[in-house]
Structure 1
Amino acid sequence: MSIYIRPLQEADALTSYKWRNDPAIWQFTGTRPDREITPDIEQEWIKTVLVRDNEKRFAICISGTNEYIGNVQITNINSYDAEFHIFIGEKKYWRGGYGSAATNLLVNIAFKELGLQCIYLYVKKDNIGAVKAYERAKFYKLLDLDNGFIKMATYVIDIKPKKISVFMIAFNHQRYIAQALDSILMQKVNFDYEIVVGEDYSTDDTRNIILDYQRRYPDRFKLLLHSENLGASQNQIQTLRACKGDYIAMLEGDDYWIDPFKLQKQVDYLEANPGFVITCHSNYNLLPNKKLELSKRIISNDELSIVDLSKGTFISTLSVVFRNHIILEFPHWFYNSPVGDYPLFMLLARYGDIKYFSEPMGVYRIHTGGVWSNTNLLTNISRWIILLDNLLTEDFEDDVKRNLIDQRLLNINELLIHYVKFSFWEEFSNLLNKYSKDYPNLKDDWLFLKLPEVISGKGENAYSTIKECFNQALINIKQFIRR
């Protein structure tokens, strides 16, 4: 039994008002009316929504009998995307693929007749049947929301498979985004690619610039235009999920590439070497004074492994191309990770080796608006320690874990040094106590070796300062005992 869809009509209210009063339907639509819906109320509502320019509403009907069984519509229509809604009101048709068929029909209209590039929807996470139906209709999950819903989307660009997806996240990059996008579009390759941009609700003209590029190159761009600022971590995850190519290249909106054969070189290597999962290369840093300097992340070995990576990152985000569809689900901590790129590379490196190209093929821009460039040193080190704590919860091999533990100790010591230099004694004590269980010699090393040395460098009396620290510690202990 097949279905068709037709424009919704006012007369449909005589049937649909019953569905709007049915609690069994509310649990799937996620909404319920605040009063009983009569035929007149439903008809007035239909009359109102049918004249809206940014909505297209259809009735789902059974072929042959013309029985009206549900509604399907897209709302919030703009020049790029629209939000999808559907429900089957007649319960006897809840199974049998009618919803999937109606979904495919409307998505086809949206892409071919309306010229939209993306259709997105929100569905209850526990509505497993609906999620699977949307997956059959080529929607895929972008984001888990705190309200129990997930966001899913389908794109016209996904109709034709791509060899590589160029991942880009952007926020307030109006001064740089055009150069970044041009450096992608200049790539000379013998395969098809897509540019997937997560635009995180910028307050400047970044979104309009991206939309202009999408209008000029509609077959290249897949845009995620967020309706609120998600933050770097959630934006990264949602944008990664939208990348459907065999490989993913990464470039943030304020950096750019300089080698037109960069993508071809890295994809060729991965195609020819199935034991490798990541390729990367050296890069230049563009300093605030406009001078270029070669990045200090230069290594002599060109074939590396997760053991090397666990000693510290040598991969610049703008340089990486890696195999897609390897990580099916991220660890729970990844969704709130203070750093996004290094843990991603560590998780990927479980599955193969890393190829490093020594020639610089991109430029990392150091400026006051950069995520790391504009963050003070203490905050950066603190974030890195949290990141390493998270990585140490993963089931890595022993040699990898040992390197992560050593790397964490170096960062802990670096942070302790800065706390002493700025006389942040409470923070110093808290950090020392927190990690002394993991590093039994940490307290002794600091109290009798490192602390006097650092304090002497400040021009203070080392031993009187240590005594003061001990006295303060005793006061804190007494206060704790009293509580």
Structure 2
Amino acid sequence: MMASLPDQASVKSAWKNNQVKVTCLVVCYNHKNYIFECLKSIVSQKSDFAFKVVVYDDFSTDGTREILKAFEERYPDIMDVYYAEYNHYGIAQKEEHLDKLEGDYIAMCEGDDYWLDNSKLKKQYEETTRRKAFFCVHPAIIFSQENNSEDVFCYYGNKVRILPQKLIFGLKNQFAPTASYFIKMDKYLEYTQFRKKLKGGPGDFFMEVLASDKGVVYIPDIMAAYRRGNVGSHSHRQTVASEIDVNNDLERWSSNLGLLLESRPHLEKHMMKKRTLVEIDCLLRVHGIVDKRYGKEKSEEYMNKAGQLLKGLGPIEY
């Protein structure tokens, strides 16, 4: 398997120097079946600047660590792995890897996702630096493990453009796939400090907002594959949540949005819209739970309330 990979000299052959410009950050937990494809897609990148790969392994026990060690041996100058001493269960703040980060930008790819374009880093680096931007994204293919389907995620047209920050607030679900994130280093570090205040839950939305003060550079090329519904992932946990879990999610979102408002008070109007969208999402999730348990008559009230809230939002603003 490792023999199919480029050697370290090949990866570095076009680099102008060894000064790292981009850190590729991978977080994984029990991704034995996916991590090879993820890391292969990263070390196959073609660029004229140096990059490194920092992996945060959240105490995998399924054989993921053995694969990571093989990558460390093959790429001693590129791979830098932190092996957590316990599992954070997607809740506790992960900070132990921060001193390993280098360069001007962070490119993210979770361990069960992978990149499709060997020029992805180069394209994002050139476009983001040219525009002096903080944040760059692109579309991805989304694979749903729940129903074995495929779709395109984060398609906002066929031209390179700057998307407005307010678009992030106007969507019920995530604005862009994590595997497309290309973020200015100081903005990522700002997020890691802000994350300490959050009451748990997914942090992607908050990272998107904090990184998008200058808008978001959008490249229309489909350059990543994103898996949804893997066992243990946030998307999978949502499918098995109880009514109490959903209510707790809503309370957590409300608290976290309040914290964000303290940091970005000028975005209050947009945060109110996001709060409504989160409530709609929670109502629809409870509708599905109640429908299975008690039938349509009992669940209909949740659907009706979600519909009323949705009508009051108006159209998405680009």
Per the shorter chain, which TM-score range?
0.7 to 0.9
- The residue number in structure 2 matching 1:433 is none
Seen in structure 2, the aligned counterparts of structure 1 residues 417 and 384 have a Cα distance that, compared at 3 Å, is closer
CA distance in 2, matches of 1:280, 1:245: 18
Write the deviation string for residues 277-331 of structure 1: whole angstroms up to 9, x where unpaired.
1000000012339966332432238312322222233211000111102345613
Tell me whether 1:307 sits opposite 2:166 in the alignment: yes
Gaps of 5+ in 2: 1-17, 292-296, 305-318
Q: How does 1:312-331 map to 2 (within 5 A)?
A: 312=171, 313-326=174-187, 327-328=189-190, 330-331=193-194
Q: Does the residue aligned with 2:234 lie in a helix, a strand or coil?
A: coil
Seen in structure 2, the aligned counterparts of structure 1 residues 290 and 421 have a Cα distance that, compared at 3 Å, is closer
CA distance in 2, matches of 1:319, 1:406: 25
- The residue number in structure 2 matching 1:298 is 155
- The residue number in structure 2 matching 1:123 is none
Seen in structure 2, the aligned counterparts of structure 1 residues 269 and 372 have a Cα distance that, compared at 3 Å, is same
Q: Please say if residues 180 and 224 of structure 2, whose CA atoms lie closer than 8 Å, have aligned partners that are also in contact.
A: yes
- The residue number in structure 1 matching 2:135 is 278
Q: Please say if residues 169 and 236 of structure 1, whose CA atoms lie closer than 8 Å, have aligned partners that are also in contact.
A: no
Tell me whether 1:369 sits opposite 2:236 in the alignment: no
Q: Does the residue aligned with 1:232 lie in a helix, a strand or coil?
A: coil
Over the aligned positions, Cα root-mean-square deviation in angstroms equals 3.1
CA distance in 2, matches of 1:382, 1:265: 40
Seen in structure 2, the aligned counterparts of structure 1 residues 383 and 244 have a Cα distance that, compared at 3 Å, is farther
Q: 1:219 aligns with which of 73, 77, 94?
A: 77
Q: Out of 399-408 and 292-301, give the one that drifted further.
A: 292-301
Q: Which amino acid counterpart does residue 263 of structure 1 have in structure 2?
A: L
Tell me whether 1:415 sits opposite 2:282 in the alignment: yes
Gaps of 5+ in 1: 1-159, 425-450, 459-483
Q: Which amino acid counterpart does residue 252 of structure 2 have in structure 1?
A: I
Q: Which amino acid counterpart does residue 141 of structure 2 have in structure 1?
A: Y
- The residue number in structure 1 matching 2:271 is 404
Question: Looking at CA atoms only, which structure, 1 or 2, has the larger radius of gyration?
Answer: 1
Q: How does 1:52-451 map to 2 (within 5 A)?
A: 161-234=19-92, 236-240=94-98, 242-274=100-132, 276-288=133-145, 293-300=150-157, 302-312=161-171, 313-326=174-187, 327-328=189-190, 330-331=193-194, 333-334=196-197, 336-350=199-213, 352-377=214-239, 378=241, 379=245, 382-383=248-249, 386-394=252-260, 395=262, 400-416=267-283, 418-419=285-286, 422=289
CA distance in 2, matches of 1:262, 1:229: 31
Write the deviation string for residues 146-166 of structure 1: whole angstroms up to 9, x where unpaired.
xxxxxxxxxxxxxx6410000
Q: Please say if residues 417 and 454 of structure 1, whose CA atoms lie closer than 8 Å, have aligned partners that are also in contact.
A: no
Q: Please say if residues 141 and 224 of structure 2, whose CA atoms lie closer than 8 Å, have aligned partners that are also in contact.
A: yes
Seen in structure 2, the aligned counterparts of structure 1 residues 417 and 371 have a Cα distance that, compared at 3 Å, is closer
Give identity over the alignment, percent.
23
Seen in structure 2, the aligned counterparts of structure 1 residues 399 and 455 have a Cα distance that, compared at 3 Å, is same
Q: Please say if residues 27 and 55 of structure 2, whose CA atoms lie closer than 8 Å, have aligned partners that are also in contact.
A: yes
CA distance in 2, matches of 1:269, 1:287: 30
Shift of 1:270: 1.5
Seen in structure 2, the aligned counterparts of structure 1 residues 413 and 287 have a Cα distance that, compared at 3 Å, is closer
Shift of 1:264: 0.1
- The residue number in structure 2 matching 1:95 is none
Seen in structure 2, the aligned counterparts of structure 1 residues 456 and 414 have a Cα distance that, compared at 3 Å, is closer
The higher relative CO (CA closer than 8 Å, separation ≥ 6) is in 2
Q: Which amino acid counterpart does residue 270 of structure 2 have in structure 1?
A: N
Shift of 1:177: 0.4
- The residue number in structure 1 matching 2:316 is none
Q: TM-score, normalised on structure 1?
A: 0.50
- The residue number in structure 2 matching 1:79 is none
Q: Does the residue aligned with 2:38 lie in a helix, a strand or coil?
A: helix
Q: Which amino acid counterpart does residue 356 of structure 1 have in structure 2?
A: Y
Q: Does the residue aligned with 2:231 lie in a helix, a strand or coil?
A: coil
Q: Please say if residues 167 and 240 of structure 1, whose CA atoms lie closer than 8 Å, have aligned partners that are also in contact.
A: no
Seen in structure 2, the aligned counterparts of structure 1 residues 266 and 421 have a Cα distance that, compared at 3 Å, is closer
Q: TM-score, normalised on structure 2?
A: 0.74
Shift of 1:263: 0.3
CA distance in 1, matches of 2:29, 2:204: 17
Seen in structure 2, the aligned counterparts of structure 1 residues 291 and 415 have a Cα distance that, compared at 3 Å, is closer
